[in-house]
């Protein structure tokens, strides 16, 4: 229980929410889905700022972009017709293994990014699609990438209002490895390929739960671009991931084990994409 909460704020605008948050930086927390708040130590938050009434829970198309409100839960996000029309089953299947249906109806897309946890399957998938963020902070509204958000100084706390996903002609794949269905990932891998005339023209390889934050591996991307999309590609990519993997060890797994898992998951994703 959050025993020390003294005030509950329900702002009517994102500007009001940010002003409250910046005024009480060390004692206020944002409430989106509530799952992150439930894990907090009871003596930390003294003020709760509820974002649920700010209208940030819709998904709209704008030209070649999809604008996603940060408060939409990942269950409705993965099932959304606009998302499925643009990304096929990528998000639908990838998010289906996260937690339980009850929790997926609570976990928000923006809260998953804001939490800045290394094991987030959501963030790995968003990086795979090169999603961007709209935030509101001291400098007003900004359009930034997830990596920029992750490296904001601790005293700068912009609020995520929307995510922007580009409609693009890529194929996507995602895999995670866990000890059980409800555990966090020991490692997860997301891959995006732009294929033209059976040639990989561009690629993204994202590995998360290393246990550091999910990140792209440029050496693997450079090593696979302009290669033929055939049955040799999974082996080549697996070897590149094994060679260039960076990470660490914790109570879940050693860096050596994560390296092995990441390379195997990479091979399995590529084997499944397009039936190669």
Tens digit of pLDDT for each residue in 68-84? 999 999 999 999 999 99
Q: Where does the pLDDT of residue 41 fall: very low under 50, low under 70, confident under 90, or very high at 90 and above? A: low
Tens digit of pLDDT for each residue in 108-140? 999 999 999 999 999 999 999 999 999 999 999
Write down the pLDDT at residue 32: 86
What residue ranges define each of the domains in the chain, with the CATH number in brackets?
Answer: 7-50 (3.30.43), 59-166 (3.30.465.10), 171-275 (3.30.390.50)
Computed from CA positions of residues 55, 59, 62, 64, in that sequence, does the dihedral angle turn out positive or negative?
Answer: positive
Q: Which of the two residues, 207 and 2, has the higher pLDDT score?
A: 207
With 70 as the cut, is the pLDDT of residue 229 above it? yes
Tens digit of pLDDT for each residue in 90-100? 999 999 989 88
d(CA 184, CA 177): 9
CB atoms within 10 A of CB 47: 17
Q: Residue 90: which residues within 8 A CB-CB, separation 6 or more?
A: 125, 128, 129, 172, 173, 174
With 60 as the cut, is the pLDDT of residue 36 above it? no
Nearest to 80 by CA among 64, 94, 91: 91
């Amino acid at each position: 229980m959050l025993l020390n909460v003294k005030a509950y704020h329900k702002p009517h605008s994102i500007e009001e929410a940010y002003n409250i948050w910046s005024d009480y930086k060390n004692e206020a927390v944002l409430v989106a889905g509530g799952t992150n708040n439930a894990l907090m130590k009871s003596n930390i938050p003294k003020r709760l700022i509820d974002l649920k009434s700010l209208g940030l829970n819709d998904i709209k198309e704008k030209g070649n972009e999809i604008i996603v409100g940060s408060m939409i839960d990942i269950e409705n996000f993965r099932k959304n017709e606009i998302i499925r029309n643009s990304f096929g089953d990528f998000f639908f299947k990838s998010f289906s293994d996260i937690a339980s249906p009850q929790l997926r109806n609570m976990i928000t897309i923006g809260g998953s990014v804001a939490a800045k946890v290394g094991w987030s399957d959501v963030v790995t998938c968003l990086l795979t699609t090169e999603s961007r963020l709209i935030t509101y902070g001291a400098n007003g509204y900004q359009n930034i990438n997830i990596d920029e958000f992750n490296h904001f100084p601790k005293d700068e706390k912009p609020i995520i209002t929307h995510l922007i996903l580009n409609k693009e002609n890529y194929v996507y794949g995602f895999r995670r490895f866990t000890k059980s269905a409800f555990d966090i990932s020991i490692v997860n891998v997301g891959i995006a390929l732009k294929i033209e005339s059976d040639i990989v023209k561009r690629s993204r390889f994202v590995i998360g739960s290393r246990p550091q934050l999910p990140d792209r591996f440029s050496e693997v991307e450079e090593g696979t671009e302009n290669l033929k999309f055939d049955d040799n590609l999974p082996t080549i990519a697996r070897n590149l991931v094994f060679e260039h993997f960076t990470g660490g060890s914790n109570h879940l797994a050693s860096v050596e084990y994560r390296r092995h898992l990441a390379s195997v998951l990479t091979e399995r994703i590529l084997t499944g994409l397009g039936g190669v």
